[in-house]
Structure 1
């Protein structure tokens, strides 16, 4: 993952809990990197070590950490650093989600070494859809849940989410049923 991801985890912790807590998390994680360069790729293991250390240090489940980080990623990181990119996705939650399959094509112009997930939509209605999430990375469906909740907040459109298919249960990908 790119350094911007790890930097966003750092920003989330420092903003909400302070620099000392971030130092404790870094020490617990065993990640010996002084600062993250947003445009540089890092091994996925770095990001997972940080997330696990946040979970342990904050006495939170890893699922809750990933959800909180997903929301932060949308509400703070992408909307502040890439407002044009976020605005290009659509004027409302429905349009943004319908356009999501093409979103990472634009992101790859900024981060060419990105290994992005793939999204597909199905069963689109006026107030809901099914979002299919495909990724080479395991264990990030709760991060995606947080992203979707963050998008709901960004568009001032409360969402209800149900994971109706998961790789944890033998499927090839996750499917989220989303209603707003």
Structure 2
């Protein structure tokens, strides 16, 4: 993942828990990187080690860490660093989710070494849809749910997110029923 992701995790921790807590998490993770460069790719293991150490240090599950990070990514990192792209994605939650399959195409112009997930939207109804999530990366369901929750908050729309199928029940990808 790009350094921007790890920097964002650092900002989430330092903003909510302080610099000392971040230093403890970094030490516990075994990551010996003083400064993450936003535009440089890092091994995915770095991000997973940080999330695991944060869960241990904060006494919560890795899923909860990833969920909080997903919300943070939308409400802070995404809004502050990619405000124009976020606004271009849609005027409301439904429009944004329908346009989500094209979103990473634009991001790849900024980060050419990105290995983005793919999304497919189906069963679009007035107040719900099904979002399919395809990724080479394992273990990011909590992050995706946090992103979706963050989008609901960004668009001031209460969302209900149900993980309807995934690798946990034998499917090759994840899918979420999102209702508002």
TM-score by length of 1: 0.99
Give the structure 2 partner of residue 109 of structure 1: 109
- The alpha-carbon deviation at position 67 of structure 1 amounts to 0.4
In the alignment, the residues of structure 1 paired with residue 79 and residue 39 of structure 2 have an alpha-carbon distance, to the nearest angstrom, of: 17
In the alignment, the residues of structure 2 paired with residue 4 and residue 169 of structure 1 have an alpha-carbon distance, to the nearest angstrom, of: 32
Give the structure 2 partner of residue 20 of structure 1: 20
1:53 match: secondary structure: helix
In the alignment, the residues of structure 2 paired with residue 169 and residue 7 of structure 1 have an alpha-carbon distance, to the nearest angstrom, of: 33
- The alpha-carbon deviation at position 167 of structure 1 amounts to 1.0
Give the structure 1 partner of residue 95 of structure 2: 95
- The alpha-carbon deviation at position 164 of structure 1 amounts to 0.5
- Which stretches in structure 1 are left out of the alignment for 5+ residues? none
Which runs of structure 2 are paired with 1:11-160 in the superposition (5 Å)? 11-160=11-160
- The alpha-carbon deviation at position 126 of structure 1 amounts to 1.2
1:121 match: secondary structure: strand
In the alignment, the residues of structure 1 paired with residue 83 and residue 166 of structure 2 have an alpha-carbon distance, to the nearest angstrom, of: 31
In the alignment, the residues of structure 2 paired with residue 52 and residue 168 of structure 1 have an alpha-carbon distance, to the nearest angstrom, of: 20
2:156 match: secondary structure: coil
Question: After TM superposition, which residue ranges in structure 1, 4 or more long, deviate above 2 angstroms?
Answer: none
Residues matched between the structures, number = 180
1:102 match: secondary structure: helix
- The alpha-carbon deviation at position 168 of structure 1 amounts to 2.0
Give the structure 1 partner of residue 167 of structure 2: 167
Give the structure 1 partner of residue 9 of structure 2: 9
- Which stretches in structure 2 are left out of the alignment for 5+ residues? none
- The alpha-carbon deviation at position 3 of structure 1 amounts to 0.2
In the alignment, the residues of structure 2 paired with residue 55 and residue 15 of structure 1 have an alpha-carbon distance, to the nearest angstrom, of: 16
CA RMSD, 1 decimal: 0.4
In the alignment, the residues of structure 2 paired with residue 116 and residue 19 of structure 1 have an alpha-carbon distance, to the nearest angstrom, of: 30
In the alignment, the residues of structure 1 paired with residue 178 and residue 57 of structure 2 have an alpha-carbon distance, to the nearest angstrom, of: 32
